[in-house]
Structure 1
Amino acid sequence: MVIASSRSASTGLVIGCVIFGLGSLIVAHVDIGGWAMAFWRLAISGVIFALLAIITGQRLPRSRRAITYALLSGVFLGFDLALWHESIHAVGPGISTLLNSLQIFFLAAIGFLYFNERQSIVQLASLCLAMLGVAMIGSAEFAQNTAATLGFVTGIVSGAMLAASMTFIRKTHDTEPTPIFVLMQLISIGGVVAMIMPMLFFDMGNILPNTWSEVGWILIYGSVMQCLAWGLIAYSIPKLSLALTGLLLLTEPIAALIIDYSWLDKPINNLQWSGALLTMFAIYLGSLKPKARVLRRYRFFAQFYKRKYK
């Protein structure tokens, strides 16, 4: 059952990432500032998760530290979303999402420094291949876009913010196992509060939607992309290592790149497509683990669920 749980977590993480990437289309077409878009996304999802928590009877964790970690995860997620939105406006959905995927290196470093997650030679090689693949995909952008520098800086920093957010999700569960709807409610609250001042400073005059169509797209963005996609991601992260999580999250930029090419008619050369294939190969390599480590991880989660539900 634990093996099946791990597989379902990996599948849920990939599905969440693909849906997450589709949200970049909404950001690119709705005329609202990047910080304001992050605020509305988290505010809408916060209401939905609060209702789901009430309906299902889920309660806040007793540990104040767990609550603090969840709120901090929301703060970092808010900055991740806002900076990712700014990068989308500068370099487009595909490239910005690829830059955001550099979170894998931050996640691997955090896993090594704070969670004692030792990396195998194959996993280290896969990280190098992933870095090369992302570089190949983004190589042509500087030659044709004057806003590339801004887009690359905000995209890379957004990856660091997302890595921090995911780390605090794991720390929340390590402190006290937290029901998913309550966890997402706390994350939304933390993000909304963190976005208020930056939104009023950077996006004044561009905070509210202008048409009912934009209102509808914002509602979809907050409900589907945040509740469904990020909910799947948050549910899956505690069941996987941080390094594997980061590698699986690379499915998001691949999906965004395909969307950019097929729906938004963005030119993508052979070098960029080769980088996409190389990145997918890196994901496969990164998912391989020695059998002994797999058994130890499965044994840990079996004991965890036994304590939780006994």
Structure 2
Amino acid sequence: MPPPSHRHAAPLLLLGCVIFGLGSLIVKFVAVGSYAIAFWRLAIAAVIFLVLARLCRHPFPQSRRAIGAALLSGVFLAFDLALWHESIHAVGPGISTLLNSLQIFFLTAIGIACFGERPNTLQSLSLLLAIGGVALIGSPEFGHNGNAVWGFISGTASGALLALSMLCVRKTHQIEKTSLFPLMMILSLGGALALITPALIFDRGALYPTTLHDITLVFIYGAVMQCFAWGLIAYAIPLLSLSLTGLLLLSEPVAALVIDYFWLRKPINSVQWGGAALTLIAIYLGSYQPRKNV
């Protein structure tokens, strides 16, 4: 029988992913620009993680290279969030979150280009399935949505930036083992600082929430989606197999698609549902790694 922490890991990961997906609703309805709300999300998270790090007395990294890698991870994450927000406004939470989840394929591509890795048969198949799935999702969208091109470009690019952010987190740990709270504080701070100028340029008329309702939602976006949900995911992933992790992570785009269709009343036809299912299968296969015999 697995220890209690392992038994709770899967439900916690599922909960974290669903809460993450709900964050797209805040982006959709709060009148704050894509870059600006990403700034507030990371700035709020930086303060919360700093308080948690101090309360728990977790040491901050001493290596300048480790700090630099964590800051760079934050920069990539900042623009991942901003472009994901752009995609949400263009094509809705469901499709944008699905496109963002394609980061697994960018991680594979980086591994091939930079580390000499070779994709296995499942990964190659998953790439073909993903291309077909995205094509099925996009074909009807391009026919009635004038923002579809930008929505698909920004959503896909956000996945690439998320992959780069994850690689920088991995690099940080390789340089110096870093506790979660200090790492996330540095990462969030780096991302928030990187977004100041773009927010002032692109979101000049929508820099901050102007009502108590919007202020509350923006705080929830930073505290709950960036801190609580991400914390659940980060806690659970090391306790689960890669195959189960890959499957449960699919709950995020699934939740966003369901919200898009049933709550926001976005028209999603049978061809697009088929493409979404194909893409989810592809993401799962791309994240699956068979257990090696020791």
- TM score, norm. by length of structure 1: 0.84
State the match for 2:214 in structure 1: 214
- 1:278-289 equivalences under 5 Å are 278-286=278-286, 288-289=288-289
SS at match of 2:206: coil
CA distance, structure 1, for counterparts of residue 259 and residue 61 of structure 2 = 39
State the match for 1:53 in structure 2: 53
CA distance, structure 2, for counterparts of residue 38 and residue 162 of structure 1 = 14
1:14 Cα offset (Å) = 4.8
> Are the equivalent residues in 2 in contact too, given 1:111–1:243 (CA < 8 A)?
no
> Are the equivalent residues in 1 in contact too, given 2:107–2:163 (CA < 8 A)?
yes
AA at the equivalent of 2:211: T
> Are the equivalent residues in 2 in contact too, given 1:16–1:229 (CA < 8 A)?
yes
Residue-by-residue CA offset, 1:227-265 (whole Å, 9 max, x unaligned): 022334445677899999777644322221111001101
State the match for 1:272 in structure 2: 272
1:99 Cα offset (Å) = 2.1
1:108 Cα offset (Å) = 1.1
Mean Cα deviation higher: 46-55 or 150-159: 150-159
> Are the equivalent residues in 2 in contact too, given 1:107–1:246 (CA < 8 A)?
no
AA at the equivalent of 1:28: K
State the match for 1:39 in structure 2: 39
> Are the equivalent residues in 2 in contact too, given 1:36–1:203 (CA < 8 A)?
yes
State the match for 1:302 in structure 2: none
SS at match of 1:208: coil
Mean Cα deviation higher: 64-73 or 240-249: 240-249
State the match for 1:63 in structure 2: 63
1:140 Cα offset (Å) = 1.5
> Are the equivalent residues in 2 in contact too, given 1:248–1:283 (CA < 8 A)?
no
Query: Is structure 2 residue 91 aligned with structure 1 residue 91?
Result: yes
1:170 Cα offset (Å) = 1.0
Mean Cα deviation higher: 84-93 or 127-136: 127-136
> Are the equivalent residues in 1 in contact too, given 2:102–2:159 (CA < 8 A)?
yes
Mean Cα deviation higher: 168-177 or 233-242: 233-242
State the match for 1:165 in structure 2: 165
State the match for 2:104 in structure 1: 104
Taking only the aligned residue pairs, the percentage that are identical comes to 61
Query: Is structure 2 residue 290 aligned with structure 1 residue 290?
Result: yes
Question: Number of residue pairs matched?
Answer: 294
Residue-by-residue CA offset, 1:94-151 (whole Å, 9 max, x unaligned): 1222222222221111233445554321232123223322332233211111111222
Residue-by-residue CA offset, 1:138-193 (whole Å, 9 max, x unaligned): 33211111111222222121111111111111111122221111111011111011
AA at the equivalent of 1:86: E
State the match for 1:304 in structure 2: none
- 1:99-248 equivalences under 5 Å are 99-115=99-115, 117-235=117-235
CA distance, structure 1, for counterparts of residue 176 and residue 127 of structure 2 = 31
Q: Which runs of 5+ in 1 are unaligned?
A: 297-310
CA distance, structure 2, for counterparts of residue 87 and residue 93 of structure 1 = 8
SS at match of 1:266: coil
Taking a change above 3 Å as real, the CA distance of residues 200 and 100 of structure 1, as seen in their structure-2 partners, is same
- TM score, norm. by length of structure 2: 0.88
CA distance, structure 1, for counterparts of residue 45 and residue 15 of structure 2 = 18
> Are the equivalent residues in 2 in contact too, given 1:108–1:243 (CA < 8 A)?
no
> Are the equivalent residues in 2 in contact too, given 1:137–1:275 (CA < 8 A)?
yes
Mean Cα deviation higher: 250-259 or 228-237: 228-237
Q: Which runs of 5+ in 2 are unaligned?
A: none
AA at the equivalent of 1:95: I
> Are the equivalent residues in 2 in contact too, given 1:32–1:207 (CA < 8 A)?
yes
AA at the equivalent of 1:39: F
AA at the equivalent of 1:221: Y
CA RMSD in angstroms, aligned pairs only: 2.9
> Are the equivalent residues in 2 in contact too, given 1:41–1:221 (CA < 8 A)?
yes
SS at match of 1:31: coil
Residue-by-residue CA offset, 1:35-91 (whole Å, 9 max, x unaligned): 100000001111111111011110111222111111111011011111111111112
State the match for 2:23 in structure 1: 23
SS at match of 1:140: helix
AA at the equivalent of 2:256: A
Taking a change above 3 Å as real, the CA distance of residues 233 and 64 of structure 1, as seen in their structure-2 partners, is farther
